[in-house]
Amino acid sequence: MNRPEREAAVRRIMERTPPQVPPELYPDIVRRGGRMLRRRKAARRLMWLLLWTAVVAFTVWALMAHPWVEPPSETTPPLTGW
């Protein structure tokens, strides 16, 4: 099947009318969609909470540990010129 034939086949498929959904499925679809939206919303809130907790934990650690300060020397420099 060459490109023009494929394009024509796709156009025929897209021009068809979509199949009708049985009316008895509508309440089930609405229920599942609502559940899916609630799960996404809960997951998004959980991710923001985890991000916020990580930022607070990092801030507290940085304020306590002072990682930007050079640690004190473990040995003393040699004394010369006495």
- Rounded Cα gap, residues 14 and 6, in angstroms: 12
Q: Which position has the token pair 């420099």?
A: 77
This prediction's pTM: 0.58
What is the model's pLDDT at position 62?
95
What is the model's pLDDT at position 56?
98
**More confident: 49 or 79:** 49
The mean per-residue pLDDT over the stretch 3-11 comes to 94
CA dist 5 → 14, 16, 18 (Å): 14, 17, 22
pLDDT tens per residue across span 29-74? 999 999 999 999 999 999 999 999 999 999 999 999 998 888 877 7
Statement: residue 19 has pLDDT above 90:
no
